Amino acid sequence: AAPEASGGSLAGRTVLVTAGPTREAIDPVRFLSNGSTGTMGFEIAREAARRGASVTLLAGPVSLPTPEGVTRVDIVSADDLHEAAMQHADADLVIAAAAVSDYAPASSGDRKLKKADDALSLTLRRTPDVLAALGARKRDGQTLVGFALETHDGEAHARGKLERKNLDWIVLNFQNEPGAGFGTGTNRVVLLSRAGERADLPLAPKAQIAASILDAVAR
């Protein structure tokens, strides 16, 4: 492994990272998705590998190169992500940075929808909550880290997710602030732990945020 410029070693540890958006097919040429670019998760995977971990990165459709030393598995839908995550569910450290679609079209055929009426209704179904599934089967010694992207009442919502999904840490980030959230090179986050710790990380490049997150959760 590369020598460490900063941060503790993760040599001998397995790390699973989810990153990017998912796509949920409406028909063969259309999908529901979101604006995640995958940058935060890719930076975490890169930094974990740099610290010597054996890293698997489950990546939604993004246009980012695979970080050096990282094993990348591409997924498209929330169902794909769920299936892939279950195969790596025993990782020592799991960091779920993916922006998973909460709903998917209940059915999508192999024929393109043709336009007709002025209004169109889609019936959606809930997708599996991948992180909650990992939390439900969390083993001793495993550390589970989630993300929460909130527009309002961030800390209350994030703490709710921390409890509900049986996480050790949650990374709260904000979509409605300049320089934070989707599609930016920087982020501002608040780290909250189950044990009641709280760390405010000021606006910084996502690579630096990734290092700070690993410093906190791998202690």
Binding-site annotation: residue ranges: 102, 112, 128-131, 147, 161, 165
Minimum distance, C-beta of residue 82 to ligand CTP, in the bound complex (Å): 8
Check: CB of residue 203 under 8 Å from CB of residue 173. no
Q: Where does this chain touch ligand CTP (CB under 6 A) — which range of 95-103, 111-119, 136-144, 203-211?
A: 95-103
Counting contacts by CB under 6 A, is residue 161 touching ligand CTP?
A: yes
Site string for Ca ion, 67-106 (x = CB under 5 A): -----------------------------------x----
Q: Where does this chain touch ligand CTP (CB under 6 A) — which range of 8-16, 62-70, 96-104, 207-215?
A: 96-104
> Under DSSP, is residue 208 helix (H, G, I), strand (E, B) or coil?
helix
Nearer to ligand CTP, 57 or 78 (CB): 78
Counting contacts by CB under 6 A, is residue 129 touching ligand CTP?
A: yes
34 annotated active-site: yes
Q: Closest Cα to residue 55, out of 36, 73, 80, 76? A: 73
How far CA 98 is from CA of 8, 17, 28, 79, 128, in Å, comes to 24, 8, 23, 13, 13
Tell me the residue type at 66.
Answer: T
168 Cβ contact list (under 8 Å, min separation 6): 143, 144, 145, 193, 194, 217
| Residue 131 interface partner, choices ligand CTP, Ca ion, none, CB cut-off 5-8 Å depending on type | ligand CTP
Nearer to Ca ion, 80 or 102 (CB): 102
Report d(CA 112, CA 30) in Å as an integer.
8
Check: CB of residue 19 under 8 Å from CB of residue 81. no
| Chain center to CA of 11 | 22
Using CB under 6 A, list all residues that contact ligand CTP. 18, 78, 96, 98, 100, 102, 127, 129-131, 146-149, 161
Active site members: 34
Using CB under 5 A, list all residues that contact Ca ion. 102
